[in-house]
Amino acid sequence: MAEKYDVVIIGAGIIGCCIGFELTKLGYKTVNVDKLPSAGMGPTGASCAIIRLHYSTPQGVAMAREGYYYWLDWPKYLETRDPAGLAFYRNTGALVVKTPHNKYLKRVTEALKEIGVGYVDVTLDEISHYLSDANLESYFPQKWIHDDAFGEPTGNSILGAIWVPESGYISDPQLSAHNVQIAAEAKGASFLYKQTVTDIIKKSGRAAGVKLSDGTEIFSNVVVNVAGPHSFVINRMANVEKDMNIKTRAMKQEVAHVPAPEGLNWERDGFMLSDGDIGCYSRPEVGNHFLIGSEDPECDPQLWIDDPDNYDENFTDQWKCMVMREAMRVSHLTVPNQHKGVVSLYDVSDDWIPIYDKSDLPGFYMAIGTSGNQYKNAPIAGVMMANLIDACENGFDHDQTPYMLDFKYSNHRFDVGFFSRNREINRNSSFSVIG
């Protein structure tokens, strides 16, 4: 028997769940459909879940600033207690290193100032207050691990950093998605797992539901693509990709978990380190570990994936390269023989800025291209998408006049057109996970 909803949301990652929650609060009957067995089991669960406010554009900072308040207010936001427990935010602060590549953080600090986010300049000498025994030599421009000059300092010391006190991470990203599912269900939302969407149903020139791999049809007035690295697959089903100026692709990413050097209680004293000089970011991880990710330096191979259902999930040289780079900065960090960490996929847009938008197919919307940096923005992305969908379904022409969203916490009116699928490539982006 065919089922009928107001909205089908494809994906139950953290953003998909937040969209379901917010639409349900607006009175829509929603169902999130995910092929995995529970919420946040895809890239959301693999996320480093870093919450940081430094971005290269004022819009990036404004979104992160607003999202941050939702995480601080997590139990209040949810309104419901998840029997599985609550994810929580842990504040650590972030040290962000100045490099020629990030223009010595000029754009970042201008954006922080514009939005009113506090930071302090940290001189070279002061870096030891944060990381005693840090090696302050510069390795920029970075080299790939097989380059003969890999690991050789390039002559000068780094040029200092900034410290952004309001930064940290969420204890358990998969649990956070589950928290939102429970909150949404308490308001009447539905979630369907182990079901794969294989087609978008269209009627009278509109999206009208989805077809599942077992042949089931779910009818709805609205369909939202929140399928993460599968976003381009879903957009092709809807036949909307060809008309978009900005497109999305899946990219393999590895994250390393390595023990902190002896004598360093990194789990207690550690912070987020965004080090564009070596091309890595890191944060403390349980078990007194460093969790290390790549800032995608230009010299590294980019692991684009054509089929997100079928790719090599093993670690590659990226893992070792990242750990060795981190060891160039953090004295006495060792490179274990055994590779620990995660392998997952980013859903990367052409300018590494997400698409939160409608499409050329009426009733079909998308929250995609999250480019490894939108976990932190999930709650505000949920609010943004729900309000955009509500406005458009009530006759608002977002392509003609961009929808403006008044943020709840920050005194900010956000032009949602910034995330348009038809924008020109944003040249102010870092074109990396930094956004």
Q: Write the burial class of residue 329 (CB in 10 Å: 0-12 exposed, 13-18 middle, 19+ buried).
A: buried
Q: Distance from first CA to last CA of the chain, Å, rounded? A: 44
* Residue 16 vs 279, nearer CB to ligand FAD: 16
Shortest separation between residue 410's beta carbon and ligand FAD, angstroms: 18
Q: To 10 degrees, what angle do helices 378-393 and 14-25 make?
A: 50
Nearest partner of 199 among 184, 210, 215, judged by Cα: 210
Listed ranges 90-98, 223-231, 316-324, 412-420: which one lies at the site for ligand FAD (CB under 6 A):
223-231
Shortest separation between residue 317's beta carbon and ligand FAD, angstroms: 17
Listed ranges 40-48, 54-62, 97-105, 322-330: which one lies at the site for ligand FAD (CB under 6 A):
40-48
Q: Which of 22, 34, 326, 350 binds ligand FAD (CB under 6 A)?
A: 34
| Structure-block tokens of residue 75 | 């139990």
Listed ranges 29-37, 110-118, 153-161, 330-338: which one lies at the site for ligand FAD (CB under 6 A):
29-37
Residue 230 interacts with ligand FAD (CB under 6 A): yes or no: yes
Shortest separation between residue 138's beta carbon and ligand FAD, angstroms: 25
From the CB of residue 418, how many other CB atoms can be counted at a distance below 10 Å? 18
Residue 221 interacts with ligand FAD (CB under 6 A): yes or no: no
Residue 255 interacts with ligand FAD (CB under 6 A): yes or no: yes
Q: What is the footprint of ligand FAD within residues 48-87 (CB under 6 A)?
A: 48-50
* Residue 72 vs 124, nearer CB to ligand FAD: 72
Shortest separation between residue 287's beta carbon and ligand FAD, angstroms: 18
Q: Which of 15, 361, 386, 434 binds ligand FAD (CB under 6 A)?
A: 15
Residue 36 interacts with ligand FAD (CB under 6 A): yes or no: yes
From the CB of residue 9, how many other CB atoms can be counted at a distance below 10 Å? 32
Residue 46 interacts with ligand FAD (CB under 6 A): yes or no: yes
Q: What is the footprint of ligand FAD within residues 369-428 (CB under 6 A)?
A: 370, 372-376
From the CB of residue 39, how many other CB atoms can be counted at a distance below 10 Å? 29
| Structural contact between residues 167 and 91, judged by C-beta atoms closer than 8 angstroms | yes
At residue 23, what are phi and psi to the nearest 5 degrees?
-65, -40
What is the spatial distance between Cα 209 and Cα 407, in angstroms, rounded to a whole number?
30
Listed ranges 12-20, 69-77, 78-86, 140-148: which one lies at the site for ligand FAD (CB under 6 A):
12-20
Q: Which of 227, 260, 328, 333 binds ligand FAD (CB under 6 A)?
A: 227
| Structural contact between residues 340 and 257, judged by C-beta atoms closer than 8 angstroms | yes
Query: CA angle 88-113-268, nearest 5°?
Result: 30
* Residue 15 vs 117, nearer CB to ligand FAD: 15
What is the spatial distance between Cα 75 and Cα 73, in angstroms, rounded to a whole number?
6
DSSP E strands: which ranges in 171-262?
Answer: 190-192, 197-203, 206-212, 217-225, 248-259
* Residue 138 vs 376, nearer CB to ligand FAD: 376
Q: What is the footprint of ligand FAD within residues 331-370 (CB under 6 A)?
A: 342, 344-346, 370
Counting residues that bind ligand FAD (by CB under 6 A) gives 39
93-109 burial by CB neighbour count: b if 16+ within 10 A, else e? bbbbbbbebbebbebbb
Strand 217-225 and strand 364-368: pairing? parallel
Block residue for tokens 């010391």: 157
Please give the residue ranges that form the binding site for ligand FAD (CB under 6 A).
10-16, 33-36, 41-44, 46-50, 196-197, 226-228, 230, 253, 255, 293, 342, 344-346, 370, 372-376
